[in-house]
Amino acid sequence: MKKWIYGIILLLVVGVLTACGGNETTSKKSSDSKETASEVKKIKIGATAGPYSDMVTKAVKPGLEEKGYEVEVVEFSDYIQPNKALDNGDIQANLFQHTIYLNKFSKENNMELTALIAVPTAPMGIYSNKVKSFDDLKEGATVAIPNDPTNAARAFNILKDQGLVSLDPNADPLTISEKDIKDNKKKLKFLPIEAGQLPRSVDSADLAAVPGNFALAAKMDLLDAIALENMLDQYRNVAAVKTANKDDQLAQDIKAVIESEEFEKVIDEQFKGFGKPAWMKTN
């Protein structure tokens, strides 16, 4: 009889211990799952300091936080580190560059990075402290333009749109240079200058073609330009991710936030003068 009683007690003890162990295992799995989910929701988005870090902070971050993300905005002071950080996984997305730069940088540095969607971008503008309109320009007036081929092409396209020059119709608008000018009615003289120095040239040249990001960095008002660029979408900044992650939930959520009415409302209120991409104009 005693053996039976001891046997029953032993079975009960083993059962209780097994149940406890199972609960601990289940609890640990549940805890691990929650930790993993928490890690997935913590993200970092890189942007260059200035208008685009402001755009992420004011127009993108709030929407992602509503979707359950914890967002840290990482600011960079150059155009190289944001893509390196994205490629090595230090950040999960960035917003600071246009498609042409992204594709070129990715190819030259053997990176697989992909543009998700174009965003409103500060356009290049033609500024002057000497004339108030193009009609006031005298023959032989000087025009300061960026000394890099990509931005120089943008400057010549603005001058073409304003009727100051005519260009070879067969030339690629993305690579247009001074040699593609067919008619220069006012015999404008072009002064290639490093893009970051162009805001200073407004005082010395008759006209200065200043890229939007440098104009804003110099505290210039985009709406003070005599003319703003009718920007090609290839020159608009994009939100970018690693190509391997372009279909992930985060990528979909970033795209959804940028396509939202709330995003466009912030742009209209706080980023005046920024040119909108084609997809936004047709919505």
pLDDT above 90 for 224: yes
pLDDT of the residue at 39: 52
Whether 1 is covered by a domain: the verdict is no
Q: Which one is predicted more confidently, 247 or 217?
A: 247
The total of structural domains in the chain comes to 2
* Co-location of 137 and 108 in the same domain: no
User: Same structural domain for residues 156 and 79?
Assistant: no
For the stretch 78-108, pLDDT in tens is 999 999 999 999 999 999 999 999 999 999 9
Q: Is residue 23 part of a domain?
A: no
Angle at 273 between CA 241 and CA 242, to 5 degrees: 5
| pLDDT above 90 for 15 | no
Domain boundary (206, 230, 254) is at: 230
| pLDDT at site 281 | 82
217 within some domain:
yes
| Predicted confidence (pLDDT) at residue 10 exceeds the cutoff of 90 | no
Task: Give the model confidence (pLDDT) of 38-53 as tens digits.
Answer: 455 899 999 998 999 9
Same domain for 253 and 226, yes or no, is no
Comparison of pLDDT for 212 and 35, the residue scoring more = 212
The 8-class DSSP code of residue 135 comes to: G
| 246 in a structural domain | yes
Range of the domain at 201: 125-230
Residue 129 shares a structural domain with residue 222: yes
Q: Which region holds residue 68: left if phi is over 0, alpha if psi is between -120 and 50, else beta? A: left
Does residue 16 sit within a domain?
no
Q: Within a domain: residue 171? A: yes
Give the per-residue pLDDT at 282. 75
Do 83 and 156 lie in one domain? The reply is: no
**What's the CATH number where 183 sits?**
3.40.190.10
> Mean per-residue pLDDT for 47-74?
96
Q: What is the pLDDT, as a whole number, of residue 40?
A: 52
For the chain, what's the residue count?
Answer: 283
* Span 157-202, pLDDT tens digits: 999 999 999 999 999 998 999 999 999 999 999 999 999 899 999 9
111 and 244 belong to one structural domain: yes
Average pLDDT, rounded, for the chain? 89
* Domain assignment of residue 204, yes or no: yes
pLDDT in tens, 112-151: 999 999 999 999 999 999 999 999 999 999 999 999 998 9
Domain identity same for 100 and 238: yes
Based on the fold, state whether residues 129 and 225 are members of the same structural domain.
Answer: yes
Q: How far apart are CA 42 and CA 24, in angstroms?
A: 27
> According to the model, what pLDDT value does residue 14 have?
45
Same domain for 174 and 218, yes or no, is yes
Dihedrals phi, psi of 148, to nearest 5 degrees:
-100, 145
Pair (99, 239) in one structural domain: yes
Tell me whether residue 21 is in a domain.
Answer: no
pLDDT for residue 24 is more than 50: no
pLDDT, average across residues 230-257: 96
Contacts of 64 (CB under 8 A, 6+ apart): 43, 71, 253, 254, 257
171 in the same domain as 222:
yes
What tens digit of pLDDT does each residue of 193-213 get?
Answer: 999 899 999 999 999 999 998
* Judgement on whether residues 66 and 48 belong to the same structural domain of the protein: yes
